[in-house]
Amino acid sequence: MNDRVGSRFMRIVDRRGDPQGRGAVNRERFIRRFKDEIKRAADDEFAKRSITDVGRGGRVTIPGRGLVEPHLTHDDQTGSRDFVVPGNREFLPGDKLPRPEGDGQGGPDGDEPGEGEGRDSFAFVLSREEFLAMFFDDLELPNLERTRFGEVTMERMHRAGYTRDGLPMNLLPAMTVRMSIARRIALRGALTDQIEELERELEEAGADRRTQIDEEISHLRHRRETLPFLEDVDRRYRARVARPAPAARAVMLCLMDVSGSMDERKKDLAKRFFVLLYLFLERKYGGVDVVFIRHTEHAEEVDEQRFFNDPLTGGTLVRPALELAQRVIDTRYGGPDWNVYVAQASDGDCTSEDGRLSAAFVDDVLLPKVRYFAYVDIPSSSGWFNRPSDLWQSYDAIEDPAFARRSVRGRSDIWPVFRDLFGRKQAA
Amino acid sequence: MSKKPAPDPARERPWPKLLKRPSVPMPRPGAQRSAEPIARGSEWTLSTLEKFDSALARHAQRLGLDTYPTQYELITANQMIDLCSTVGMPVHYAHWSFGKQLLAQERGYRKGLSGLAYEIVINTDPSLAYLMETNTLALQVLVMAHAGYGHNGFFKTNYLFRQFTQADAILDYLKFARGFVQECDERYGWPEVEKILDSCHALAAYGVDRYRRPGRLSPRREQERVRERLRFAEQHYKPDFAHLDAPTPTREEEAATAAANFEPQENLLYFIEKNAPKLAPWQRELVRIVRKVAQYFYPQRLTKVANEGAATFWHYTLLHELYDSGEVDDGFMLEWLANHSEVVTQPAYDSRSFHGINPYSLGFSIYRDIRRVCEQPTDEDRQWFPQLAGSSWNEAIAFAMANFKDDSLIEQYLSPKVMRELRLFLLRDGEEDRRHYDVRAIHNEDGYVKLRQALAAQYRLESHTPSIVVARAGDDTERALLLQHRVEHGRLLEAESAETVLKYIKELWKFDVVLEEIDAGGSRLKIHRT
């Protein structure tokens, strides 16, 4: 202890570069435990978000009741206690001062919660990932076929041990050399046995036989010394066999009506729906292709940016959009290994002729090609009370389990409808 | 007291003015400077910090402060949040409650509601102190003096820490605990593990041996013990004959003698670990882990005021030494003093920011007053502290740090001057009148002793943690666990929390748990059942 200054142990370790997020494991546990509450809060939160914010993380507040960690405490309404507090300005012994309502003030233990959120709720911030995970937790693409259900399969190559022939790129040098060593050991042993036998014979044999045997022995010796390092039989290749694998490749075609009758409110609702859909697909199925088609009288395929942000007005024809969808499917997503989904959003304004043709087209042409066709109807808020839209009425003609339609009237409907359309169906 | 009496001389207040702010003596501008400032400005580098540390070490040694060696770790704000969430330990087993802490802290920090604790120090050997990268130079040095010297010295010398914790073993033990909990997660599923841990956490305050010194922690031995225990259980697994191993049902007389011989136990978790009828070995192990961790933190619970007071006193003293010898400049002083006075602020009882007595403030006042009494005693001090007045302050402080916990420190050293400065007064919340508090004593001649005793009592463990003992267990066919709360001053348990906690205990005990509240005479006041 005397000479601490000189030989002092003193270190400053820079830990700033250490892997971050040591607390992540505890954070994850917290979210896991209060999943239901958090999900409910996240759902509420979603209804309030603007469209660009949907995918961001955010503040959620969950009821605080469940997360109290209880411990035994005294009930301040019973018994009597003496306690000391600071800051006396005016009191003399014998004075009385009013007892504050409830607890908190005046208590001797300083661990009462501060003002603000209080005990009833607990607010915290979720990251984008956590937020989306909460949203899409029990959602699925409906009718996504996998091998298990036996229909649509594609083949995937799998490793399956070794084989004696194959492509040079699949050659396994280490395995090949191992086989070569084994072959040489085996052959050398056999040759040695033969040589030894001949040598034994040599001792008893006559002169003429001797030269013959000598010759044979030297021949065998020569063979033994010159065993080839590699022969064809040594070669080993990776074996790959094709096994049927689930076809989880999927494409989603998003069809949106952007005609003049779609006012800003409706467009906002439609976009919200598609943003949600897009985030869902992006998160849940990394490999899902998304095709954006918007239409007025004409249909065009656009990129994500223009689909959500580019204003456009004009009349309405539904059918061209459906036809374009069909062309896209046929040219790019034909064949059995694609799961094709179509989601259509529209205010349902169309001529009756167009509606009829569209319904027929969906029923006859599109539905056989797709797994699921979801139609989201966004009726005018004004207009005839609760009258179904034209397109909605036209679609009445379609009866197919792969076809579903819902009506969205306000922001708060979007999430429930989305859940409804893509909720994990109870296994039939 | 319905009508105020006319002003009379007895009601003359014993003080002339409103509450004074605690005075922080300013640096003495004219003092002799022997050195140039080590650094100026608020930027720092590792080498300036090292220079400051050796300066602090020199002063600490000269003033007789004995410490463990310190290792400082430089960390980011995020890492600090992580640390705070696991009660300051760099390793800990995983649990959702730490996640809750983390989320709350993170949000508070992001919103700027709360600053971060800028000092965390861990009682290990060498002791670990954390420096946050966003701190300025003055704050870094303040943290070094506070944590690396103040707390560290307290950990090293205080009798409770010497007796109760093995500073060098705790991190390794926590590593073992983390691994074990993770393994249990994998083997038995997290809901099961969490159930046990939640229950144990609710009882953590009752998982300590208060008087017995705990055995040494050795993670390796611990691990071997666990493995041995589990292997034995697996080898001897025979579900068909399991009932043969169960203790034979006790007969009436046996039960009676057992009950008569049963000694009340205050370490609930220990009792449960050893005696719970249906816990699996790994579950017992979890109970043990929580218990050991609680035991480690036990001295810290007893020494909040003493510990923080000592640390604050020492950073205050050491930084003033630096200033007096010229090693820091005025700007440096003003910066940390602003911070210091924020830390030691004691809001009055009726202020919005009042959350009870600030341990930093109380502790700092007590220690600083010890030094004052030693150096400049008044007549009052000579009367109250004859043994201190005029003696060497270094020794007096070292003694006060080494031999007291909160209640005894207050009882021994709380001086009238500190009571006056903090304007302490004693309130009684009596059964007779629930709508008012009675003022029982204030800081005057009649009140000092009462105040001091009451404040000391307030820091006794029993005053905030109800004392619960195991009174009887498993001696009847129901195998019920009987707990008793020894009621003091008629203060019963808060019923709602008692009920939840009982449910948690039942989770461990698996049979009925009864909690009765008895008064000093032994008669039952109230009973809680699961």
| Residue A115 placed within a domain | no
Whether the pTM exceeds 0.90: the reply is: no
| Residue A381 placed within a domain | yes
Residue B408 sits in which domain range? 344-464
Let me know whether A222 and A350 are in one domain: no
Chain B residues with CB under 8 Å of A10 CB are 50, 53-54, 57, 69-70, 72
Name residues 63-122 of chain A within 8 A of B (Cβ).
67-99, 105-112, 114-116, 122
pLDDT in tens, A87-137: 888 888 888 888 876 544 444 433 333 333 445 677 887 777 777 777 666
In this predicted structure, what is the pLDDT of residue B16? 41
Distance CA A91, CA A110 (A): 22
| Residue A298 placed within a domain | yes
CB atoms within 10 A of CB B181: 22
Confidence of residue B452 (pLDDT cuts 50, 70, 90): very high
| Total domain count, chain B | 3
Partner-chain residue, chosen from A26, A81, A88, that has the shortest CB–CB distance to B442: A88
Residue with tokens 């140039």: B36
Whether A15 contacts chain B with CB within 8 A: yes
Final residue belonging to a domain, choices A207, A240, A273: A240
Range of weakest confidence among A214-218, B121-125, B172-176: B121-125
Partner-chain residue, chosen from B97, B99, B110, that has the shortest CB–CB distance to A125: B110
Q: Does residue A417 surpass a pLDDT of 50? A: yes
In chain B, whose CA is at the least distance from the CA of A123? B104
In this predicted structure, what is the pLDDT of residue B236? 66
Record the tokens describing residue A326, joined without a space. 């069909």
Whether B168 and B125 have beta carbons less than 8 Å apart is answered as yes
Let me know whether B456 and B500 are in one domain: no
Whether residue B202 and residue A94 make contact (CB cut-off 8 A), yes or no, is: no
Range of weakest confidence among A51-60, A311-320, B269-278: A51-60
Q: Does residue B370 surpass a pLDDT of 90? A: yes
Shortest CA gap A122–chain B (Å)? 8
Record the tokens describing residue B212, joined without a space. 């017995």
Where helices occur in A83-172 by DSSP H, the ranges are 128-135
User: Mean pLDDT across the stretch B109-116?
Assistant: 61
In this predicted structure, what is the pLDDT of residue A2? 38
CB atoms within 10 A of CB A248: 17
Chain B residues with CB under 8 Å of A71 CB are 202, 204-205, 497, 501
User: Mean pLDDT across the stretch B9-24?
Assistant: 47
Best residue in A7, A9, A12, A16 for a mutation probing chain B (most B CBs within 10 Å): A12
CB atoms within 10 A of CB A185: 11
Considering chain B, what is the average pLDDT of its residues? Answer: 82
Whether B318 and B149 have beta carbons less than 8 Å apart is answered as yes
In this predicted structure, what is the pLDDT of residue B22? 45
Let me know whether B404 and B488 are in one domain: no
Distance CA B7, CA B123 (A): 56
Q: Which helix (H) or strand (E) holds B320?
A: helix B304-324
In chain B, whose CA is at the least distance from the CA of A82? B428
Let me know whether B308 and B352 are in one domain: no
Q: Does residue B399 surpass a pLDDT of 90? A: yes
Chains A and B: how many Cβ contacts under 8 Å?
302
Whether residue A30 and residue B13 make contact (CB cut-off 8 A), yes or no, is: no
Let me know whether A312 and A353 are in one domain: yes
Let me know whether A192 and A273 are in one domain: no
Range of weakest confidence among A37-41, B213-217, B364-368: B213-217
Distance CA B155, CA B144 (A): 15
Whether residue B436 and residue A31 make contact (CB cut-off 8 A), yes or no, is: no
Residue A299 sits in which domain range? 247-422
Q: What are phi and psi of A410, to 5 degrees?
A: -150, 175
Amino acid at B408: S
Let me know whether B319 and B403 are in one domain: no
Residues 6+ apart with CB under 8 A from B7: none
In this predicted structure, what is the pLDDT of residue B313? 94
Final residue belonging to a domain, choices B411, B433, B464: B464
| Residue A103 placed within a domain | no
| Total domain count, chain A | 3
Range of weakest confidence among B6-10, B94-98, B259-263, B294-298: B6-10
Cα first-last separation, chain A: 77
**DSSP-assigned beta bridge partners for residue A375:** A344, A405
In this predicted structure, what is the pLDDT of residue B351? 83
Q: What are phi and psi of A234, to 5 degrees?
A: -75, -25
Considering chain A, what is the average pLDDT of its residues? Answer: 77
User: Mean pLDDT across the stretch B256-285?
Assistant: 81
Chain B residues with CB under 8 Å of A4 CB are 57, 61
Amino acid at B520: A
Let me know whether B351 and B459 are in one domain: yes
Let me know whether B80 and B106 are in one domain: yes
Answer with the residue of higher pLDDT: A384 or B506.
Answer: B506
| Residue B412 placed within a domain | yes
Q: What is the dihedral of CA B392, B393, B396, B401, to 10 degrees?
A: -150
pLDDT in tens, B461-511: 888 888 888 887 766 667 888 898 988 888 888 888 898 899 999 989 888
ipTM over the 0.85 cut-off: no
Partner-chain residue, chosen from B73, B432, B437, that has the shortest CB–CB distance to A15: B73
Let me know whether B357 and B416 are in one domain: yes
Whether A26 and B96 have beta carbons less than 8 Å apart is answered as yes
In this predicted structure, what is the pLDDT of residue A75? 86
User: Mean pLDDT across the stretch B84-112?
Assistant: 80
Let me know whether A307 and A190 are in one domain: no
Distance CA A309, CA A236 (A): 58
| Residue B1 placed within a domain | no
Distance CA B357, CA B463 (A): 15
Distance CA B409, CA B432 (A): 32
Let me know whether A131 and A204 are in one domain: no
**DSSP-assigned beta bridge partners for residue A63:** A121
Let me know whether A278 and A394 are in one domain: yes
Distance CA B53, CA B59 (A): 10
Shortest CA gap B520–chain A (Å)? 13
Whether residue A75 and residue B103 make contact (CB cut-off 8 A), yes or no, is: no
Most confidently predicted of A25-34, A130-139, B361-370: B361-370
B215 burial type by CB count under 10 A (0-12 exposed, 13-18 middle, 19+ buried):
exposed
In this predicted structure, what is the pLDDT of residue A50? 59
Partner-chain residue, chosen from B74, B78, B443, that has the shortest CB–CB distance to A12: B74
pLDDT in tens, B412-431: 999 999 999 888 999 988 88
Whether B359 and B304 have beta carbons less than 8 Å apart is answered as yes
